[in-house]
Structure 1
Amino acid sequence: MAPLLLARRADYLPPSVEVRREMMGSPTMLGAVEIGIFVSMFLFGVIMTEGHSYFRQYGKKDPRALKALIWFLLALEFGHSLTSMSAVYYFTIATSDEPIKPGNCYELTLTIVHSVLITAIVQGFYVDRCRRFVGASSPITKVLIGVIGGFLVTTALAFGLWISYESWLSSGKNAGVWDLQIKWGWLMSLRLSLSAFNDVLIAACMCFGLKRSERSLGDIKMKSTKRLLNGLAIWTVETGLTTSIASVVVVVCFQTMKFNYIWVGVWLSVAKIYSISLLASLNARSRYRLKYAGPQTATSSDTSQLMFRRVETSSSRRSSRRLTISSAIARSAKTPSRRFTVNA
């Protein structure tokens, strides 16, 4: 009877030192974190390239507030990369001689802080763009978008900072491997799900505004204008889906593989994807003007808005639907024109 009781009690004992050492050094633990950081560093190079392209094209055109926001975003990305590499150094070098590896560290907690701030900045920028674009025709709609979008972004930011605080408390040499996942797993899932929901909502709002702008043109729609609006709608959907899918993948990995660090490796690249989506959307303005609108577009340095012309024609010209862009430009010099504004 005694051996049976001892055998049952052994099932609930913590793993031995050798087992815990092997567990932390396994491919699904430290290996997943290292691979995630390597991918994150590659994406950091893409971000620096996009940032250089932005300041080369729009360094003298965009307002100072937007350029300051981009500088701050790049600084956060640099801090995110620095703390990520410091976490690898801590797990592989600083604690290499310790028999029991800690499950968390302060460097990884600072990485969480940078990631939360980056996500809030990018989503806040898109919410402001939705507010200016979709709510341009209605002050009430403009206020509603600002209030609802701001509340969702602020809530996600608060949840992220809460997780960072709890992660800081559970860091150090005495940190358990699964302390944060077991106690605050529900909060981590809620925060990631809320970020994915915000991305989908922003993309849907922008697509609604673009389609409404297309309908407001009436029956006389220039082909370049229609192609521009469709291109912007597709780009908006792709950008929103990329960030939301990345957040959903992290949630799925966390729920199905909570007791390894594969979800951490995937999560380390989410902040980079947000920054790339923002910088790529800003840099794509000139490309879309040249591709879809040609010489009919102009850029306002104060509002960063695309402007193109809708030509007023007579009733006889309205019946012709096969007019080329070049002929429309030629007639615009003789007929009154009206401007229609679309946010970049």
Structure 2
Amino acid sequence: MSCPSFDVGETFGALLVGSVHDPSSMVGIIWCAELANGIGLVASLYRMVITNFGHPERLVFFPTSLLVSAVMGTLVSVIVPGFFTFRIYALSKSLWIPCLCWAILLFRLIPECVIVLGFGIHEPIHTFLERWGTMFNAIWGASAINDLLIAGTMVFLLYRHRSGAMDDTAAIVDKMIEWTIETGVLNSIISIAMLSVFIAMRDNFIWMAFFVVVSRIFSNSLLASLNSRAAFRSANHLTFVASVPNSFPRATNPVNITVEMTRTTYEEGTAKL
């Protein structure tokens, strides 16, 4: 019985290109943005709960450090989905969905940064939220839909490539699909929760707890995705250890023979690595 036709180059080759296209500069930018985000949050909390302790009347404007922290968090929340969108392009070789996703990401990045830095510094908190609340609803709602679109497209593309794969290869694809669903759905849930709380309770800062967590979720999903490549390499590299009895009478320990194998598929009598 011949094995089913399976082009590794057009399936896992494309996935490999998308997986390794992660220059160290992107990881460095994420790390610096998260560091600035954390420093800004600590500085803001110190000013609000220590410096201005017992003087709530002073908390009329957003602390500048908090606004800078928000911009850094937004930067992370745009770069990471942009990276996953590039993976969609690497798998599909089509620009329709990637361009749509990148357009939504720009819609989140540019207006949010302009509003936060251009008006958040000079406008009182209550006025700022009343004036720009509807815009933030649209931005965060579009971002939540974008997260679902990215995750759904990745799952569809992986499942389409799985149909022609052998059992062991299909198991790797199933693991990829599982991780894609976990990370994508979690990002969307956090974004939807933040948007829901912001709409229902705009007069308090409960929504900011979700806003702070969003960037952490995105950065962790990126690191988990990059670290998962080692597991995929191990799954695609088989090692067998066989114990062979020694024929010499004085030897008491068996001889261990280790054979390392990599998967090879065949199509019409031609081997493809």
Question: Match for residue 337 of structure 1?
Answer: 271
Give the letter aligned to residue 311 of structure 1: T
3-state DSSP of counterpart to 1:312: strand
1:161 and 1:309 map into 2 onto residues whose CA distance is: 48
Q: Is 1:101 aligned to residue 58 of structure 2?
A: yes
The alpha-carbon distance between structure 1 residues 99 and 166, as it changes in their structure 2 partners (threshold 3 A), is closer
Question: Match for residue 312 of structure 1?
Answer: 266
Question: Match for residue 252 of structure 2?
Answer: none
Give the letter aligned to residue 41 of structure 2: S
Q: Is 1:187 aligned to residue 171 of structure 2?
A: no
CA-to-aligned-CA distance 1:102-129 (integer Å, 9 cap, x gap): 1421111111110111111111111111
1:233 and 1:109 map into 2 onto residues whose CA distance is: 36
Question: Match for residue 179 of structure 2?
Answer: 235
The alpha-carbon distance between structure 1 residues 211 and 195, as it changes in their structure 2 partners (threshold 3 A), is same
User: What is the deviation of 1:131?
Assistant: 0.7
The answer to whether the 8 A contact 1:163-1:188 is kept is: no
Question: Match for residue 6 of structure 2?
Answer: none
Question: Match for residue 251 of structure 1?
Answer: 195
1:121 and 1:99 map into 2 onto residues whose CA distance is: 36
The answer to whether the 8 A contact 2:141-2:192 is kept is: yes
Please point out which of 49, 65, 84 is paired with 1:92: 49
Q: Is 1:271 aligned to residue 250 of structure 2?
A: no
Report sequence identity in percent: 24
Q: How many pairs were matched up?
A: 231
The answer to whether the 8 A contact 1:309-1:337 is kept is: no
3-state DSSP of counterpart to 1:168: coil
Query: Could you tell me the TM-score, scaled by structure 1's length?
Result: 0.62
The answer to whether the 8 A contact 2:237-2:263 is kept is: no
2:148 and 2:27 map into 1 onto residues whose CA distance is: 23
User: What is the deviation of 1:97?
Assistant: 5.7
Unaligned runs of 5+ in 2: 1-18, 240-261
Question: Match for residue 166 of structure 1?
Answer: 119
CA-to-aligned-CA distance 1:142-195 (integer Å, 9 cap, x gap): 23233222212111112321331322232xxxx3x4222211111111111111
3-state DSSP of counterpart to 1:337: strand
1:148 and 1:99 map into 2 onto residues whose CA distance is: 44
User: What is the deviation of 1:213?
Assistant: 0.8
1:66 and 1:122 map into 2 onto residues whose CA distance is: 13
Please point out which of 209, 229, 232 is paired with 2:157: 209
2:64 and 2:267 map into 1 onto residues whose CA distance is: 66
The alpha-carbon distance between structure 1 residues 68 and 232, as it changes in their structure 2 partners (threshold 3 A), is same
Question: Match for residue 319 of structure 1?
Answer: none
1:62 and 1:238 map into 2 onto residues whose CA distance is: 21
Unaligned runs of 5+ in 1: 1-60, 136-141, 297-307, 315-334, 340-344
User: What is the deviation of 1:80?
Assistant: 0.3
2:43 and 2:78 map into 1 onto residues whose CA distance is: 23
Question: Match for residue 120 of structure 1?
Answer: 78
1:251 and 1:88 map into 2 onto residues whose CA distance is: 22
User: What is the deviation of 1:277?
Assistant: 0.4
Q: Is 1:130 aligned to residue 88 of structure 2?
A: yes
3-state DSSP of counterpart to 1:260: coil
3-state DSSP of counterpart to 1:252: helix
Show structure 1 runs of 4+ deviating over 4 A.
none
Give the letter aligned to residue 119 of structure 2: E
